Amino acid sequence: MKKISVLLVLVLMFSCGKEQHDLTVKTSIKGLKKGTVYLKKVKDTALVTVDSIVVNGNSEFELHSDLESPEVFFLYLDKNSKENDRISFFADKGITEINTTLKNFVFDAKINGSAQQKTWDEYKLMMSRFNERNLDLIKENFEAQKNGDTSKIKSTQKESDNILKRKYLYTVNFALNHKDSEVAPYLALTEIYNAQVKYLDTISNSLTPKVKDSKYGKELQSFIKTIKNTEQP
């Protein structure tokens, strides 16, 4: 019994002595030998560093941050050059794992973590399809201008305008269909902030109490209030 008691005391002492973090970002960057990695987030409209680590031989490491509610963070890699790459991810309390490579830091990134990240990935996948089609239209429009094809110029421009409208509508509907996720107010603030205030209001009013009380939920309410005050005669 005495041995068990001593063991329990030691375990408790170790647990109390170990620093606790709201967010732990376990990171692996294949091929990275030296460099500095920064964990950043937006605070009061400015991008601030919340943690950093100097890598010297070990490409696997952890970064940490306090976290009141789910929000977007950025992983920056300073490769001792003028180029700065960043990986954005939606984090919640607990552990987020990011595995990538030095060669393709952003494009090879595999993120495993919050439910919000999965929801955000779903949204970004659809946006990438819209963007790919829009790139095709830009090329078609350029060729049409070279050939003096006015009919093709008008048709590509019309389709491009329609894609923009579809992106807005998709974002609004996506936010409304994910009213229980902090991704909804985040999209309203970052993707359709210049939409008619009635759309932003509809999204804000649809949010669950938990999401409405989150960082982005509060920011959306404040943003809408500012717009309404500005529009008043």
Parse the chain into domains and list their residue ranges: 20-113, 117-231
Q: What are the pLDDT digits (tens) for 86-119? A: 899 999 999 999 999 999 999 999 999 999 999 9
**Amino acid 232: pLDDT:** 66
The low-confidence residues of the chain, meaning pLDDT below 70, are 1-19, 79-84, 232-233
d(CA 49, CA 41): 7
Query: How many CA atoms are closer than 13 Å to the CA of 84, on its beta-carbon side?
Result: 10
Q: What are the pLDDT digits (tens) for 48-82? A: 999 999 998 888 999 999 999 999 999 998 864 44
Tokens 């984090």 locate to: 91
First to last CA, the chain: 78
Please give the CATH superfamily to which domain 20-113 belongs: Immunoglobulins (2.60.40.10)
**Residue 22 DSSP symbol:** S
Q: Which of 185, 140, 190 is nearest to 167 (CA)?
A: 190
Q: Are 137 and 131 in contact (CB under 8 A)?
A: no
d(CA 182, CA 194): 19
pTM (predicted TM-score)? 0.85
Distances (CA, A) of 54 to 37, 118, 181: 7, 29, 34
**Amino acid 4: pLDDT:** 52
**Amino acid 18: pLDDT:** 54
